[in-house]
C-alpha cells in the first residue's frame, strides 16, 4: 500500500512538474529567450503572484510528505493533483512552439532533476543509519524535487546557460545558411519594415499591393526576430522571388542592426516610434536609435519611408533618401479628407508629383489610413502606377486583431486586441467615437511601459471619457490608472465596470441594456506572460 502511494505521489508530482515547466519555458520563449528580459518579467509583482499560485499546492504538500503516514501521503497526492489542475494548459495568443531549442531545454531540465534526485538518494543512504533507509531515501528525494519544483522559474536560467554554447553554434549555422541563400539571389529586392506599432499591418498591405506585379515573399506572422527571419529564408525563399518584405522587431538596442546585417535591405519603412517595450529599452532615445538602425542600413541609392505623423520620426534627422507619408500636408504621400463609416474608410491621397487620387478601403481608423499610405508610397516608388493601386487598396482586409471591423448581427466589434500602445489606443478610441451606436470600451490597459505605466494608462482614461458610453475594465489592480483617469475626467462611475477576466467582460457587455445598437472596442489582450 505504501509503495502504491509513493508511486501515485511520484506520478502526480511528475505530471505537475512537467506542466509547470512547460509554462515556465513558454514564458521564457515569450521573452525571446533573453535572460535579462525574463528576469525583469519575474520581478513584476503580478507575475510573482501568478507563479506562487501555480506552485502553492505543491509547496503545501511538502510538509505532509515529510510527516509520513498514509493519511499525510494521500493528502500530498491530492495536493499534487491540484497542482496539475492549476497548471493545466490554456489557450494562448502565442502558444508554446516546440522548437528544437525548447526540446533541448526540457531535456536539460529533466537531466538536472534526475541528477538531483540521484545525488540526494545516494547521500541519504550513505549518511543514514536508520532501520528503514528506503523511507529516508524517498523522503529526501521528494524534498529535493519539491524544492526544485518551486524553484523552476529560476532553474530555467542555469538551464539556458548550460545550453548556451550549443544554441550559439546551431544559430550561427542557420544564419550562415540563410546568408548563403540570399547571396545566391543578387537581384532580390529586400524591404525592411520596423516600428513600435503598425509594422505587421504595413507588411501585409504592401505584400498585397506588390503581388500584382512582383513575386513577393514576406515574413509570416510574428517571425520578426533574427531567427524568425532566418527560418523564413531557409524554409520559404525560392529562386523566383523578386521581393522580400522583412518585418523587423526589436526589444533591445542592436536587434534591428543584427537583422539588417543579414538581409541588407535596399528600402526601409519606419512606421512609428513610441514607448513600446519601454521596460526592456529603458528610454525612448534607445527606441529611436534602434528603429533608425534600419535607416542606417539602407544604401545611399536606396530609400527610407518615414511616417511623418509620428513626432519622434519626423524630429529625427537622417542622411538617407527620405520619402515621407502620412496624413500631414507636408508628406510626399499625404492622405486627407478621411471619412469613416461601418463599411470602412474613404480618403484622398496625393503622390510624390502632387496628383490627387480617391481611395476607398474596408478598413477603419486613421492609423490604418497611415499604414495604407506607407504601403502605397513604397509600391508606387517601385513602379506600380497609382491608378493600379486603387482596386487592391479597396480589397485590403484587416490584419486579425488590429482594429479589425467585425459585424455580429446588430452589433459591431472593433477588434484591436493584439497589443496596445498609447498612440494606437487613442486612434482606436477616436474611431470608436465616430460611431453613433452605444459605444463600449473593453480593455485591460497597457503593459511593458516601465515606470511610465501608471501615467500612460491614466492619460488613456482621461482621453477615453468622452469617446465611450461604457468602460469595461479587465483587472481591478491592472486598470487602476485608467479608472483614476476616467473618474478624474468626470466619467459616470455607474458606467465603469471592473471585472476579473475577459470572459466576464463579454458577459457584462451582453448585460448592458440595449439602448441602441452596440459598437464594442476590444483594446488589447494582455500578452500571455501577463495573463
Q: What is the pLDDT of residue 234?
A: 95
Which option is the CATH number for 404-530: 3.40.50.880, 3.90.190.20, 3.50.50.60, 3.20.10.10? 3.90.190.20
User: Is residue 2 within 8 Å of 70, Cβ to Cβ?
Assistant: yes
Helix (H/G/I), strand (E/B), else coil: 87: coil
Nearest to residue 435, comparing CAs of 463, 457, 407?
Answer: 407
- Higher pLDDT: 184 or 513? It is 184
Q: What is the pLDDT of residue 202?
A: 94
Q: How confident is the model at residue 282 (pLDDT cuts 50, 70, 90)?
A: confident
Residue 351 confidence (pLDDT) above 60: yes
Q: What is the pLDDT of residue 259?
A: 96
Residue 224 confidence (pLDDT) above 80: yes
Q: What is the pLDDT of residue 160?
A: 92
- Spatial distance between the Cα atoms of 386 and 416, rounded to a whole number of angstroms: 29
Residue 42 confidence (pLDDT) above 70: yes
Helix (H/G/I), strand (E/B), else coil: 344: strand
Which option is the CATH number for 185-395: 3.40.605.10, 3.90.320.10, 3.90.105.20, 3.40.1190.10? 3.40.1190.10
User: Is residue 199 within 8 Å of 259, Cβ to Cβ?
Assistant: no
Q: What is the pLDDT of residue 144?
A: 73
Give the domain ranges of the chain: 2-165, 185-395, 404-530
Mean pLDDT is highest, among 100-104, 305-309, 318-322, 352-356, for: 305-309
φ, ψ for residue 409 (rounded to 5)?
A: 65, -125
Residue 484 confidence (pLDDT) above 60: yes
Q: What is the pLDDT of residue 98?
A: 87
- Spatial distance between the Cα atoms of 260 and 522, rounded to a whole number of angstroms: 34
The least confident of 226-230, 347-351, 415-419, 479-483 is 415-419
Q: What is the pLDDT of residue 132?
A: 44
Residue 118 confidence (pLDDT) above 50: yes
Grid coordinates representing 115? Answer: 541528477
Residue 262 confidence (pLDDT) above 80: yes
Residue 397 confidence (pLDDT) above 50: yes
Nearest to residue 291, comparing CAs of 276, 303, 309, 279?
Answer: 276
Q: What is the pLDDT of residue 9?
A: 75
Bridge partners for 246 per DSSP: 192
Mean pLDDT is highest, among 35-44, 91-100, 408-417, 461-470, for: 461-470
The least confident of 45-49, 127-131, 228-232, 398-402 is 127-131
Eight-state DSSP code of residue 476: T
Residue 374 confidence (pLDDT) above 80: yes
| Measured distance between the N- and C-terminal CA atoms of the chain, rounded to whole angstroms | 41
- Spatial distance between the Cα atoms of 44 and 311, rounded to a whole number of angstroms: 31
> Strand 404-408 relative to strand 411-416: parallel, antiparallel, unpaired?
antiparallel
Residue 292 confidence (pLDDT) above 60: yes
Helix residue ranges, H only, 31-151: 35-42, 45-67, 70-86, 100-127, 133-150
Q: What is the pLDDT of residue 64?
A: 73
- Higher pLDDT: 445 or 177? It is 177
User: Is residue 278 within 8 Å of 313, Cβ to Cβ?
Assistant: no
Mean pLDDT, rounded, of the chain: 84
Residue 206 confidence (pLDDT) above 90: yes
Q: What percent of the chain has pLDDT over 70?
A: 89
- Higher pLDDT: 449 or 469? It is 469
- Higher pLDDT: 391 or 59? It is 391
- Please give the helix or strand (H or E) that residue 423 lies within, else none: helix 422-433
- Higher pLDDT: 257 or 436? It is 257
Residue 350 confidence (pLDDT) above 90: no
Residue 509 confidence (pLDDT) above 70: yes
- Residues 166-195 have a mean pLDDT of 94
Q: What is the pLDDT of residue 131?
A: 43
- Residues 21-42 have a mean pLDDT of 85
Q: How confident is the model at residue 45 (pLDDT cuts 50, 70, 90)?
A: low
Annotate 371-408 with b (16+ C-beta within 10 A) or e (fewer): bbbbbbbbbbbbebebeebeebbeebebbeebbbbeee
Nearest to residue 295, comparing CAs of 311, 272, 312, 318?
Answer: 318
Eight-state DSSP code of residue 108: H
Q: How confident is the model at residue 136 (pLDDT cuts 50, 70, 90)?
A: low
Amino acid at each position: 500500500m505504501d509503495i502504491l502511494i509513493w508511486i501515485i505521489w511520484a506520478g502526480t508530482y511528475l505530471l505537475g512538474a512537467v506542466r509547470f515547466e512547460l509554462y515556465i519555458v513558454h514564458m521564457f520563449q515569450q521573452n525571446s529567450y533573453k535572460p535579462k528580459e525574463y528576469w525583469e518579467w519575474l520581478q513584476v509583482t503580478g507575475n510573482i503572484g501568478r507563479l506562487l499560485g501555480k506552485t502553492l499546492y505543491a509547496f503545501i504538500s511538502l510538509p505532509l510528505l515529510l510527516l509520513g503516514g498514509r493519511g499525510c501521503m494521500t493528502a500530498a497526492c491530492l495536493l499534487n493533483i491540484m497542482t496539475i489542475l492549476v497548471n493545466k494548459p490554456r489557450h494562448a495568443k502565442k502558444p508554446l512552439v516546440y522548437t528544437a531549442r525548447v526540446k533541448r531545454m526540457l531535456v536539460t531540465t529533466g537531466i538536472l532533476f534526475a541528477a538531483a534526485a540521484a545525488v540526494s538518494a545516494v547521500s541519504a543512504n550513505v549518511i543514514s543509519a536508520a532501520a528503514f533507509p528506503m523511507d529516508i531515501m524517498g523522503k529526501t528525494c521528494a524534498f529535493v524535487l519539491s524544492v526544485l519544483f518551486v524553484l523552476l522559474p529560476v532553474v530555467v536560467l542555469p538551464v539556458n546557460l548550460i545550453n548556451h554554447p550549443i544554441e550559439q553554434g546551431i544559430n550561427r549555422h542557420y544564419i550562415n545558411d540563410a546568408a548563403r541563400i540570399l547571396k545566391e539571389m543578387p537581384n532580390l529586392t529586400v524591404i525592411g519594415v520596423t516600428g513600435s506599432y503598425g509594422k505587421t499591418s504595413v507588411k501585409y498591405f504592401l505584400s498585397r499591393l506588390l503581388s500584382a506585379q512582383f513575386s513577393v515573399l514576406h515574413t509570416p506572422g510574428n517571425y520578426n526576430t533574427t531567427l524568425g527571419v532566418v527560418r523564413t529564408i531557409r524554409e520559404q525563399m525560392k529562386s523566383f522571388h523578386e521581393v522580400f518584405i522583412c518585418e523587423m522587431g526589436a526589444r533591445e538596442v542592436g536587434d534591428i542592426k543584427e537583422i539588417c546585417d543579414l538581409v541588407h535591405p535596399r528600402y526601409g519603412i519606419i512606421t512609428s516610434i513610441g514607448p513600446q517595450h519601454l521596460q526592456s529599452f529603458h528610454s525612448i532615445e534607445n527606441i529611436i536609435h534602434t528603429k533608425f538602425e534600419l535607416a542606417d542600413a539602407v544604401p545611399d541609392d536606396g530609400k527610407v519611408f518615414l511616417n511623418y505623423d509620428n513626432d519622434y520620426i519626423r524630429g529625427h534627422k537622417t542622411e538617407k533618401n527620405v520619402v515621407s507619408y502620412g496624413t500631414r500636408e507636408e508628406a510626399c504621400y499625404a492622405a486627407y479628407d478621411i471619412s469613416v463609416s461601418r463599411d470602412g474608410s474613404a480618403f484622398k491621397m496625393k503622390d510624390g508629383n502632387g496628383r490627387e487620387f480617391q481611395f476607398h478601403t474596408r478598413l477603419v481608423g486613421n492609423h490604418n489610413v497611415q499604414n495604407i499610405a506607407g504601403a502605397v508610397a513604397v509600391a508606387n516608388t517601385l513602379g506600380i502606377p497609382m491608378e493600379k493601386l486603387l482596386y487592391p487598396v479597396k480589397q485590403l482586409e484587416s490584419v486579425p486583431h488590429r482594429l479589425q471591423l467585425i459585424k455580429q448581427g446588430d452589433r459591431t466589434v472593433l477588434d484591436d486586441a493584439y497589443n496596445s500602445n498609447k498612440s494606437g489606443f487613442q486612434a482606436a478610441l477616436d474611431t470608436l467615437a465616430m460611431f453613433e451606436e452605444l459605444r463600449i470600451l473593453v480593455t485591460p490597459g497597457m503593459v511593458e511601459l516601465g515606470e511610465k505605466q501608471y501615467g500612460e494608462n491614466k492619460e488613456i482614461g482621461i482621453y477615453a471619457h468622452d469617446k465611450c458610453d461604457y468602460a469595461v475594465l479587465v483587472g481591478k489592480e491592472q486598470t487602476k490608472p485608467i479608472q483614476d483617469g476616467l473618474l478624474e475626467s468626470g466619467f459616470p462611475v455607474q458606467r465603469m465596470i471592473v471585472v476579473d477576466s475577459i470572459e466576464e467582460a463579454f458577459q457584462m457587455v451582453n448585460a448592458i441594456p440595449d439602448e441602441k445598437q452596440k459598437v464594442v472596442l476590444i483594446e488589447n489582450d494582455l500578452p500571455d506572460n501577463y495573463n
